[in-house]
Structure 1
Amino acid sequence: MRLTKFGHSCVRFDTDEGAFVIDPGVFSDPAALDGVDAVFVTHQHADHCNDPELRRLLEDQPETRIYGPESLAEVLGSLPFTTVSAGDSIPVAGTEVRVVGKHHAAVHPDIPVIPNVGYVADGVFHPGDALTIPGLPVRVLLAPVAAPWLKLSEVIDFIRLVDAPIVHPIHDAILSKDGITIVDRNLANLIGDPFQRIADGDTVTI
């Protein structure tokens, strides 16, 4: 399996039997969607769900399946998608994507908490906008590192609790170049060898 980061929280998985994407949002490169069999969306926020690009995708590739929580209907409207929730398992591209979690992390008491699901694909865990402990074996953690709902100490605790042998940072588009350097330095110092940044557009083999 090959994993490519396409900006912010968007990652693409390519296998010998197909391809799928998690969280192609407005901060992501739309090229992530080229030729995919399926799209998995963790929640309805625009930085995770770029609905105009998904509409274009289905116009060009109507056989592509989109998966996400029921609340996606609020932004996708009549666009067809398959509702998923914790405990579901979806076969795709010769592997299996398992669904975990229920809620987005709290931003502020005045802001309602929306649904958010995470996905575990062949041991690679993408939590979306949450710090859910998946209850499944994780060999690669895609850890969100910068958000209005998040502080660095929570990231470190989350990474330690999941205890994956490899950690790649995601959800970082709101950071400047200097901000990324600061976050990476702290995580490298406190997490150690598991922490490995993938630059946007780069691919690693899982």
Structure 2
Amino acid sequence: MRITRYGHSCLLVETARARVLVDPGVFSRGWEELTDLDAVVVTHQHPDHVDVEKLPQLLESDDRAVLHAEPETAASLRGAGIEASALHAGSTLTVGDLSVEAVGGEHALIHADVPQVGNVGLLLRAEGEPTVFHPGDSYAVAPEGVDVLALPLSAPWAASREMIDFVRAVRAGSGFAIHDALLSEVGLGLYAGQAKNLGGLELRPVEHGVPFDV
């Protein structure tokens, strides 16, 4: 399995017979130029995970790409004139040789005064390949059998103690950072150090737009 990160929580996941883009949001860049996608999958409706201004152009220029999104998000996108299929928690989407299982269902709490929205974590699997977990914006679900964790490092909904406990619960063999657009270089180092020293997970360095194999 090959992964390319386009900033924040946006990933291109490639297998022998699938090219799937995850969470193309406003804090990410470069994904707008991609072609030959089979699917676009959105974990939830917040703008840092789905850019409703740029996404239609991507879909129009790549007519084989099908958009799938958490159900509330899919409804919101359809209301904005963007056709999207609902991806419910507990369901599995098959794209070529890649299976995408949706887990969870609810975004992490930001504050009692901020309504919670839907969120699905994504378990990405292909035969003979490691299992990759992209949790969207939630630490609530720690599935078994995760080989590679795309770890949200910092967010308005997260505390470092929760991030550390999440890493311990998932018990992935390897991982890399996502959801880090709000962090400085100092912050990135601090949170990555906590993931390693307290969570037991060393995060591999990932360059923007440069593919790596897992």
TM-score in terms of structure 2 length: 0.90
SS of the residue 2:189 aligns to: helix
- Residue number in structure 2 paired with 1:53: 54
Whole-angstrom distance in 1 between the partners of 2:99 and 2:70 = 18
Gaps of 5+ in 1: none
- 8 A contact 2:151–2:176 mirrored in 1: yes
Which residue does 1:62 correspond to in 2?
63
Q: Percent identity?
A: 36
Q: Which moved more, 1:133-142 or 1:151-160?
A: 133-142
CA distance in structure 2 between the partners assigned to 1:179 and 1:104 by the alignment:
23
Correspondence 1:3-152 to 2 at 5 A: 3-31=3-31, 33-72=34-73, 73-76=75-78, 77-122=80-125, 123-152=131-160
Deviation at 1:175, TM superposition (A): 0.5
RMSD: 1.6
Is contact 2:167–2:201 with CA below 8 Å preserved after alignment?
no
How many equivalent residue pairs?
Answer: 206
CA shift at 1:18, angstroms? 2.7
Gaps of 5+ in 2: 126-130
Equivalent position amino acid for 2:7 in 1: G
Q: 1:187 corresponds to which residue?
A: 195
Shift of 1:193: 5.2
Shift of 1:196: 2.2
Task: State the match for 1:205 in structure 2.
Answer: 213
Q: Secondary structure at the match of 1:191?
A: coil
Which residue identity does 2:24 align to in structure 1?
Answer: P
Distance 1:146 1:177 in 2: 13
Deviation at 1:109, TM superposition (A): 0.2
